[in-house]
Structure 1
Amino acid sequence: MSIDKNYITKFLKDLLLIPSPTGDTEKAIKFVESEFKNLGLQTYKTTKGALIASIEGKKKEAITFSGHVDTLGLMVKEIKTNGRLKVTKIGGYSLSTIEGNYVTINTSENRNYSGTVIFEHQSVHVYNDVNSLERTLDNIEIRIDEVVKSKEDVEKLGIQVGDFIYLNPNVEILENGYIKSRHLDDKAGVAAIIGIAKYFVENNIKPEYTVNFFISNYEEVGHGSSSALPTSTEYFIAIDMAAIGNTQTSEETATTICVKDGSGPYDLETRRILEKVAKEKSLDYKIDIFINYGSDASAALRAGYDFKVGLIGPGVDASHAFERTHINGILNTMNLGIGFVESIK
């Protein structure tokens, strides 16, 4: 299957550069919507702000792929008397993974201010407990790159409790195919979805089943796909990152078929079809289980939807931190999705 790598990497880079923490995803949704429309697909948004695009099949029964644009992030919890900010987390991650990260504080008037996530006792030249103290929400703060020495100084900038704080992604796409960035979970998966759509459109292929693409905006907080999914869906395939670690089989250059996560095992028939496709297409693939993990597929099942579910995705190292994947992992995921559509009659 011929796939334009440059198209995929450019789309992914552009999407990664759009801040989209859960709760503030409109710009990212509009960007993906524009790409679907450029491909000639009809789209609509749910009341909750998710995006759905469709390729009409020969049958009304549907395969629905999901990927999410919402990411980890922060919000202003408190303005301190010294002009720094206390925060609350959006999504689940260790505070150690954001220490030193540059951020952008976005106000309700859409003014942006630069800042840095730092530990209260950051300087080794001043504090003896820099290495020994656990990082908590009580001692991590945002240093604003403005002359602010008091709470009042900060408030004059228009910064207030509830403002979103974007973690700068630090995107790098290397010539050898590696892609380094925050938020590859799950923007790498969304790039694979765009590639699937592009393949069917550009090759003028009408699949047997209608194919829907559900771009979720609340996955990181557990309810992205809990409502408004296309009612004709028979197979629901979440495309999300595959976590890499010492006890895992997943690899950055491969696609992973997840057979079980924290919500329990996924549909066995769907798994078998995915495995068969991967073997027939000679794809680089892994089978894996993720214990501390949930997806839009599991959220849909909890919501009571009656369809078969699967979970696939590119391997992502250092998940929910400074992540890394490889273009081949995205391409293998894309080709697995294409093959799955073509195998359902």
Structure 2
Amino acid sequence: MKEIRIDREYILDMLFKLLNIPSPSGYTDQIVHFVGHELERLQVPFELTRIGAMRGTIKGKVHSPDRAVVAHLDTLGAMVRAIKDNTRLGISPIGSWSPRFAEGARVTIFTDTRSYRGTILPLKASGHAYGDEIDTQPVSWENLEIRIDAICDSKQEVCNLGINVGDFVAIDPMPEWSPSGYINSRHLDNKAGVAALLAAIKAIGETGVELPVDCHPLFTIHEEIGYGASSILFKDISSMVVIDNSIIAPGQNSSERGVTIGMKDSVGPFDYHLTRKLIKICKEHDIVHHRDTFKYYRCDAASAVEAGNDIRTALVCFELDASHGYERTHIESIEAVAKLITLYMQSPVGIHRDAQPLGSLEGFPRQVEKPFRKEGNLVQMPEEET
């Protein structure tokens, strides 16, 4: 495996372009076109499902057992649920996020034909009008509304603007780059992951290194609502590495710089062999890394397995503070993820049996077994790679 330089300027350029394309789950056509054009520029052929999930192909020396690396394009957002007599809009969330992070957000409302700007506000927004009640009203989506930046004095006039129940609402990212390397923004989950995957693809392509087996970069569009990678996988893919965010919080084992390897999320453990292969690569190439488990978390791996795909899955995370809020990561973490992915793409196949969906016991790997005694000596079974 060859260590390949990751283009930091490319990561930053891609990340800020991605952040400025609205893409709440269900409203992702624009970002699919953007990423598609970038894959064309990088000379990576790809195909789309009917609704826009993307599957690229980077040819390797052999066709199978294929690998995939996936990142999701969709983000959190909201939808208009009511048009009120006071000309404000009631909203409901798209994806799972707290209304406390919605208060004060600038937004874009997408109608059937055009868009309008607005602000999400609590029902009691002015201390001069409500006094201490602004601090005691419950934090809930029912207590939020959008103030529209358009001249309208009645519910009918709002309707005349073309605004309807069911219109999508995109939340402004407000990205900011710090000279210290920190990046603050909404929607770093998972546009930082997309930037890392594109940077890895670019690095592999520019170096011209030949991969040992076909690798498929995947871009899903419904991860935030639970079924991202359920429809883009095909039987030729035997293993899939998910790129997503880790969690910086008390009780977690992640750090705000480096890479976190997810061992388990709310759905269950990730594949034993694939996970330990990634950890081994980190150790051999001095990539700062941590292992962590996530209690309130699921990713594209869950939707893939729940859809019936018989594949090995693993989770590689860039570090993220305040996930699903106003998030922060560090450029070194995104670079580290991209570096790990380039090395994984180049890594040799360890379990050749995975090329066949069904087979005999021959070639099936072993995990570390309970030590047993044989002729007085303590014997422990070795680990294998995938």
TM-score, normalised to structure 2, is 0.87
Q: Does 2:129 correspond to 1:126?
A: yes
| Deviation, structure 1 residue 158 | 0.9
Q: Does 2:68 correspond to 1:49?
A: no
| Deviation, structure 1 residue 147 | 2.1
Q: Does 2:312 correspond to 1:308?
A: yes
**For 1:243-282, what aligned pairs fall within 5 Å after superposition?**
243-282=247-286
Q: Distance in 2 between matches of 1:241 and 1:295?
A: 9
Answer whether contact 2:6 2:338 (CA < 8 A) is retained. Answer: no
Which of 17, 23, 26 in structure 1 is aligned with 2:26? 23
Any runs of at least 4 consecutive aligned residues in structure 1 with deviations exceeding 6 A, and if so which?
none
Answer whether contact 2:56 2:217 (CA < 8 A) is retained. Answer: yes
The AA in structure 2 aligned to 1:149 is D
Q: Does 2:63 correspond to 1:60?
A: yes
The AA in structure 2 aligned to 1:204 is G
Q: Structure 2: which 5+ runs fail to align?
A: 350-386
| Deviation, structure 1 residue 125 | 1.5
Which of 2, 5, 23 in structure 2 is aligned with 1:2? 5
Answer whether contact 2:76 2:94 (CA < 8 A) is retained. Answer: yes
**Mean Cα displacement is larger for which, 117-126 or 16-25?**
117-126
**For 2:57, what is the secondary structure of its paired residue?**
strand
Q: Does 2:60 correspond to 1:36?
A: no
| Aligned equivalent of 1:229 | 233
The AA in structure 2 aligned to 1:306 is D
- CA deviations over 1:225-258 (Å, ceiling 9, x no partner): 1123132111101101111111112122211100
Answer whether contact 2:44 2:57 (CA < 8 A) is retained. Answer: yes
Q: Distance in 1 between matches of 2:232 and 2:224?
A: 17
The root-mean-square deviation of aligned C-alpha atoms, in Å, is 1.0
| Deviation, structure 1 residue 310 | 0.2
**For 1:97-108, what aligned pairs fall within 5 Å after superposition?**
97-108=101-112
Q: Distance in 2 between matches of 1:143 and 1:173?
A: 29
Higher Rg: 2
**For 1:179, what is the secondary structure of its paired residue?**
strand
Q: Distance in 2 between matches of 1:231 and 1:212?
A: 13
Q: Distance in 2 between matches of 1:105 and 1:48?
A: 22
**For 1:186-205, what aligned pairs fall within 5 Å after superposition?**
186-205=190-209
Q: Distance in 1 between matches of 2:39 and 2:205?
A: 10
The AA in structure 2 aligned to 1:259 is M
Give me the identity figure in percent.
38
**For 1:249, what is the secondary structure of its paired residue?**
coil
Change (3 A) 1:230 1:200: farther
| Aligned equivalent of 1:327 | 331
Which of 232, 236, 242 in structure 2 is aligned with 1:238? 242
| Aligned equivalent of 2:303 | 299
| Aligned equivalent of 2:293 | 289
| Aligned equivalent of 1:139 | 143
**For 2:137, what is the secondary structure of its paired residue?**
coil
Q: Distance in 2 between matches of 1:327 and 1:178?
A: 6
